[in-house]
Structure 1
Amino acid sequence: HAHYALPAGGAALSWARRHDVPLVVSVHGGDVLGPAVADPAARQRIGSVLRSADAVMCNSHPTLERSALLAGSDANMRVVHLGADPPKHPKPRREVPTVATLGHLVARKRHADVLRAVRLARERVPELEWLVIGDGPEREALEELARRIGVAEHVTFAGQLEPEEALAELASCHLMALPSVDEAFGVAYVEALACGVPAIGALGEGGPEEIAALSRSMLLVPPGDAEALASLIADLLESRAEVSALAAQARRGAARHFSWEACGKATVECYREALE
């Protein structure tokens, strides 16, 4: 079982054929999006790996569609959503309204949009805070932007935390905003839902759109629109009853559609098909 078509899938394919064993490849999106398929030789190699695999597990339907386009067929493909568990030791909900963002600090995650939205939303929710969980090359620029637009004292950059600690911090917040682009699935969204935290992503992105179709606690705004994001954040935080209702629905939706048990069963079924 190889994760990502390249390089792992390509290496595993050669080994599997030499030893006459079935090969399952998991496609996570980054291996069939943008830069990964910009080179014609890479596209050809990825397509060959996906065609040759006995089974291909895709993290969303948009990922499956892109994979099938490269392979020329979806006959050996199925969607298997990743799961998420709530933290074992969640922290109590913060008294101050807090938006969290969970993710690597890179440009495509659009943290700067959240930062600008927080500044705008504070006009209606003056006590609003932003908790940034994760680290990456954009951190210094984001810290400078926070100072420049006057909200640095209301932003906490928590850095890279251990998984259980990250989930505990996430569960203490009221909303999770991550309006990223090129999002094939988005584990951070289902982790937020499992924590009982409504999540906000970008319209037109395959992963967030698919999650939103399964849970009304996954909300969407136009990409790059800080004003729309700010308006949604303020609308929700001004209605604690609505946030509470969405939080309860988030937990139910995550347990129903994004459990590790369901992911495990689908994976075992995929293995059975590969062995036939």
Structure 2
Amino acid sequence: MACSGGGGPDQPPSATLSHVSPGSLSTRTDLLSGIIPELCQKYPDLNFVIGGEGPKRIILEEVRERYQLHDRVHLLGALEHKDVRNVLVQGHIFLNTSLTEAFCMAIVEAASCGLQVVSTRVGGIPEVLPESLIILCEPSVKSLCEGLEKAISQLKSGALLPPEKIHNIVKTFYTWRNVAERTEKVYDRVAGEAVLSMDKRLDRLISHCGPVTGCIFALLAVLNFLFLVFLRWVTPDSIIDVAVDATGPRAAWARQHPCSKKGGENNEMSKTR
């Protein structure tokens, strides 16, 4: 969700609260239906702009009708990804009401557009942004309202960071090179780990999980191992293509295709001519 300003230079800015994640409105709608009327009564200049579709959208429509909030609650429906940025930049505060989340790309997009993020403290969300760019709340109406009021107070007092500064901070966090390097480290660490034999795996399961639960897990592990043996009998390893390392001057690609090197030498010779 996001908050954006309006009003003249001598007036406190109005806030546009936008949920622009193009996902479905599912269990999050229950939180929104409690947050919207409470905050709209406290802040008459507060506007909610909500993007997304789902079977529970009708709940938000009923809330808007019941409290006569047509001027402050705008339901945009499904948004194409190319339109998300144009909606986000209309706001100052982005509200994420997810109940379960692994990473939440939506809050990264919102912060990249210069918005202060207010979000539920679930899953991996606390690890996504620094404390200065996100207000973490419990997944309840009361906690989220308190978080939003804190953000609105900062907005009206001018305590929020400028959008350009927020963007410049966020753009250094996640780059394709950084993601590739971190992914490569995970693969290298896993590749360097010793592969335990089946009897050691069973011993570890029983010793770590208890005599009853450990035996159940050990039985499941044996069944999985037998199923793997069956699959390897149906499709032997010998008929599965093995990926080769095609990078570097001494890689498999260079050894199997020496003509590419020769072609490069011919190109260099043609340039000298």
Q: Matched residues in 2 for 1:264 and 1:142: separation? A: 41
Task: Report the CA distance between 1:215 and its aligned residue.
Answer: 4.4
Q: Matched residues in 2 for 1:243 and 1:175: separation? A: 13
Structure 1 match to 2:104: 186
Pick the aligned partner of 1:207 from 83, 105, 124: 124
Q: How does 1:257-268 map to 2 (within 5 A)?
A: 257-267=173-183
Task: Report the CA distance between 1:198 and its aligned residue.
Answer: 1.3
Q: Secondary structure at the match of 1:107?
A: coil
Q: Are residue 105 (structure 1) and residue 20 (structure 2) matched?
A: no
Q: TM-score, normalised by structure 2?
A: 0.57
Pick the aligned partner of 2:49 from 117, 131, 145: 131
Distance 1:177 1:188, change over 3 A: same
Q: Matched residues in 1 for 2:123 and 2:162: separation? A: 22
Structure 2 match to 1:231: 146
Distance 1:218 1:272, change over 3 A: same
Structure 2 match to 1:176: 94
Q: How does 1:73-112 map to 2 (within 5 A)?
A: 94-95=5-6, 96-103=14-21, 104-108=23-27, 110-112=28-30
Letter of the 2:149 partner, please give it: A
The alignment of Structure 1 onto Structure 2 pairs a total of residues equal to 180
Letter of the 1:111 partner, please give it: T
Task: Report the CA distance between 1:264 and its aligned residue.
Answer: 4.2
Structure 2 match to 1:13: none
Distance 1:172 1:216, change over 3 A: same
Q: Matched residues in 2 for 1:100 and 1:236: separation? A: 14
Structure 1 match to 2:135: 219
Distance 1:249 1:121, change over 3 A: farther
Contact 2:20 2:87 (C-alpha < 8 Å) held by counterparts: no
Q: TM-score, normalised by structure 1?
A: 0.56
Contact 1:198 1:218 (C-alpha < 8 Å) held by counterparts: yes
Larger radius of gyration: 2
Q: Are residue 254 (structure 1) and residue 177 (structure 2) matched?
A: no
Contact 1:134 1:159 (C-alpha < 8 Å) held by counterparts: yes
Q: Percent identity?
A: 21
Letter of the 2:153 partner, please give it: E
Distance 1:126 1:132, change over 3 A: same
Q: How does 1:138-177 map to 2 (within 5 A)?
A: 138-177=56-95
Contact 1:146 1:155 (C-alpha < 8 Å) held by counterparts: yes
Long gaps (5+) in structure 1 = 1-92
CA RMSD of aligned residues (A): 2.8
Q: Matched residues in 1 for 2:36 and 2:91: separation? A: 14
Q: Which fold has the larger relative contact order, with Cα–Cα distance below 8 Å and residues 6 or more apart in sequence?
A: 1
Q: Secondary structure at the match of 1:106?
A: coil
Pick the aligned partner of 2:161 from 245, 249, 252: 245
Letter of the 1:106 partner, please give it: L
The C-alpha deviation readout for 1:153-192, integer Å capped at 9, x for no partner, is 3111111222121111112211111121111111111111
Contact 1:133 1:160 (C-alpha < 8 Å) held by counterparts: yes
Task: Report the CA distance between 1:111 and its aligned residue.
Answer: 3.0
Q: Secondary structure at the match of 2:171?
A: helix
The C-alpha deviation readout for 1:191-240, integer Å capped at 9, x for no partner, is 1111111111112x12212124x34212111112x233223222322332
Contact 2:48 2:74 (C-alpha < 8 Å) held by counterparts: yes
Structure 2 match to 1:64: none
Q: Matched residues in 2 for 1:113 and 1:243: separation? A: 27
Contact 1:217 1:250 (C-alpha < 8 Å) held by counterparts: yes
Q: Are residue 195 (structure 1) and residue 103 (structure 2) matched?
A: no
Q: Matched residues in 2 for 1:228 and 1:243: separation? A: 21
The C-alpha deviation readout for 1:23-73, integer Å capped at 9, x for no partner, is xxxxxxxxxxxxxxxxxxxxxxxxxxxxxxxxxxxxxxxxxxxxxxxxxxx
Distance 1:156 1:243, change over 3 A: farther
